[in-house]
């Protein structure tokens, strides 16, 4: 049992910060697993991205959502932050065109210590990263301050581990929604997409406070 738990922890750690050979395997899984691609495409669709939007993604992994975002925000700006050097390299390769056009900006960094940005964002997205954050309410409040008044955040989660069920997703969705409210987001709502191995949940919130 201890061995099994250790194996699960080792895999989970790779998804939290992919590195080395195992990290490459995790990155390939994230990039090519159909459910992962669908989850990211769905997440982007919920943000109602405009062609000139400024969008920030935290924990972009292999860069699937970044590519989709930059395709829609073709005259905007799509910035991504991830603390894995391996994922940064992978995402840069996948988004070579967006980087060349100057629409995409991918940076090595952590959600715990966000860099300064030139201007506020219209949209913020994060997919399957919130479970790795320390003090999620504090992190969300910091992210709210990076959004323009009326700007939208989407926090997306799909449980992948053994025993994941739709109820696991629903419970996490409720937790994220509460965290968004505590971070002073308004118009908080939940969306769900049916998918295997368990439903994907997205908690959306608006920067209504403006401060």
| Residue from 44, 53, 55, 82 binding ligand SAM (CB under 6 A) | 82
17 sits near ligand SAM (criterion: CB under 6 A): yes
Peptide bond into 136 cis (omega under 30): no
Helical H segments across 46-102, by residue range: 64-72, 85-94, 96-101
Binding mask 35-54 for ligand SAM (x = CB under 6 A): -x---x--------------
What's the rounded Cα separation, in Å, for the pair 47 and 206? 11
Give me the half-sphere count of Cα atoms (radius 13 Å) on the Cβ side of residue 203.
Answer: 23
Q: Among candidates 44, 42, 133, 128, which has minimal Cα distance to 87?
A: 128
Task: Check residue 113 and report its DSSP letter.
Answer: B
Q: Is 81 in the site for ligand SAM (CB under 6 A)?
A: yes
Residue 70 in the binding site for ligand SAM (CB under 6 A):
no
Whether 129 contacts 157, CB under 8 Å: no
- 23 is a site residue for ligand SAM (CB under 6 A): no
Task: Find the part of the chain contacting ligand SAM (CB under 6 A) among 2-10, 46-54, 75-83, 115-123.
Answer: 75-83
Question: What's the min distance (Å) between Cβ of 149 and ligand SAM?
Answer: 25
The only residue of 44, 47, 49, 64 in contact with ligand SAM, by rule CB under 6 A: 64
Q: Which of 9, 52, 112, 167 binds ligand SAM (CB under 6 A)?
A: 112
Collapse the DSSP code of 161 into the 3-class scheme (helix H, G, I; strand E, B; otherwise coil) and give the result. coil
Q: Which is nearer to ligand SAM, 31 or 208 (CB)?
A: 31
Name the strand (E) or helix (H) holding 87.
helix 85-94
φ, ψ for residue 207, nearest 5 deg:
-80, 85
Binding site for ligand SAM (CB under 6 A): 15-18, 30, 36, 40, 59-61, 64, 81-84, 87, 110-112, 127-129, 132-133
């Amino acid at each position: 049992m201890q061995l099994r738990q250790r194996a699960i922890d080792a895999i989970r750690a790779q998804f939290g910060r992919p590195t080395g050979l195992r990290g490459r395997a995790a990155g390939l899984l994230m990039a090519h697993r159909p459910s992962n691609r669908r989850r990211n495409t769905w997440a982007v669709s919920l943000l109602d991205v405009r062609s000139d939007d400024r969008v920030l993604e935290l924990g972009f992994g292999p860069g699937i959502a970044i590519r989709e975002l930059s395709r829609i925000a073709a005259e905007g700006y799509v910035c991504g932050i991830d603390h894995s050097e391996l994922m940064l390299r992978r995402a840069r390769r996948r988004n070579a065109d967006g980087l060349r056009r100057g629409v995409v900006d991918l940076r090595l960094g952590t959600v715990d210590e966000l860099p300064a940005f030139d201007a506020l964002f219209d949209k913020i997205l994060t997919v399957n990263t919130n479970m790795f954050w320390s003090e999620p309410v504090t992190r969300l409040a910091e992210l709210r301050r990076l959004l323009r008044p009326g700007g939208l955040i989407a926090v997306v989660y799909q449980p992948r581990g053994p025993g994941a069920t739709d109820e696991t997703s629903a419970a996490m969705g409720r937790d994220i929604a509460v965290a968004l409210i505590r971070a002073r987001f308004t118009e908080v709502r939940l969306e769900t997409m049916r998918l295997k191995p368990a439903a994907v949940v997205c908690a959306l919130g608006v920067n209504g406070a403006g401060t």
